[in-house]
Amino acid sequence: MIYLQLVLTTVFWAAVFHLGKYSINFMSPLSVAAWRFLIATLLLLPVVWRTRPNLSTLRGNKWPLLAMGIVGVFGFNTSLFYGLQQTSSVNASLIMATNPSITALLAAWISREKISARQWLGFFVSLAGVTVIVTQGSWQHLMTLTFSTGDLFVFIGSLCWAIYAVIPKRFITELQPMLITLSTIAIGAVALALAAQLGPGDLFVVSNWKLVMAIVVMALFGSVLAYLWWNQGIARLGASRVSIFLNLVPMFVVLMAMAMGQLPTAPQIVGALLVITGVMVSVYSRNTNQGKPSTESSESSRKAV
């Protein structure tokens, strides 16, 4: 049962890319992201409250939590959804698949964790895959640096999420993981809502019921349920084994795109193979050299969509 839940979790995260792509046709990316996380916050509140969290620990961690909410939730989702306006769901999911490797590099720099030669290799293989994707396999695009703006936005989003992931181990103390998640989601949701209302001004402009359903599905399945199931998997199987399931997300995104009549291009296929290979090399290195991925890498895998 736990394996089925983990597979379904990756299906939910894959669906977020397509649902997000659909939603931003009717509402600004800021408003779509704001509603997704406002709803997720309301749904998570009773779940976290049942764990009887120690709220007194929030005060001492307010600045790291604020940074995580602004960079990891606001920054990540703004970059991702604006990126989806100008690139495909398949490209976005493949670029986001580099996140574990980027997180490992940032952890080595910020938390002074050792990084092996295999991890460096995995990072550069993944980066080569992203380069193939964003240049559409064109050497001329690479030489003239004519990348897709949408692809670059998504890559910035991946960097934002990596920063979010490495903050807890270095700067947060004595705070339950579920309380960290709820706090940062709530901070990010408020920031997104304020930016949406002060900017595009369409936070309360809902054009059709399909848009509402898409946002609710992203909040319920892609945020709340996926998070809970992912946590259960880590508790039962360990973070090392569970993190491998993240590699299924790009595959499901491609399968969903094919079901909708969007066949992957040759550069996307080649890039996907390179990205997934690089991630597998990095994950294998962490598993064998350190026993299990770091806390921040697990947190990143849990919510990197």
Q: What is the pTM of this model?
A: 0.79
pLDDT tier, 238 (very low <50, low <70, confident <90, very high otherwise): low
Average pLDDT of the segment spanning 247-272? 83
| Alpha-carbon gap, residue 99 to 158, rounded angstroms | 6
| Alpha-carbon gap, residue 283 to 85, rounded angstroms | 31
Average pLDDT of the segment spanning 89-116? 76
Q: How far apart are the first and last CA of the chain?
A: 23
| Alpha-carbon gap, residue 90 to 96, rounded angstroms | 10
Per-residue pLDDT for 92 more than 70? yes
pLDDT tier, 235 (very low <50, low <70, confident <90, very high otherwise): low
| Alpha-carbon gap, residue 154 to 257, rounded angstroms | 18
Torsion sign across C-alpha atoms 22, 28, 30, 35: negative
Which candidate, 187, 202, 169, places its Cα nearest to that of 75? 187
Instruction: Delimit the domains of the chain by residue range.
Output: 2-303
Percent of the chain with pLDDT over 90: 33
Alpha helices in the chain (DSSP H): 2-23, 29-49, 57-60, 62-67, 76-84, 89-96, 99-110, 117-134, 139-144, 149-171, 177-198, 209-219, 226-237, 239-243, 248-259, 266-290, 295-303
DSSP-derived secondary structure letter, 87:
S
pLDDT digit string, tens, across residues 126-163: 778 877 876 777 777 666 656 688 989 999 998 998 88
268 or 234, which is more confident: 268
Which pLDDT belongs to residue 134? 67
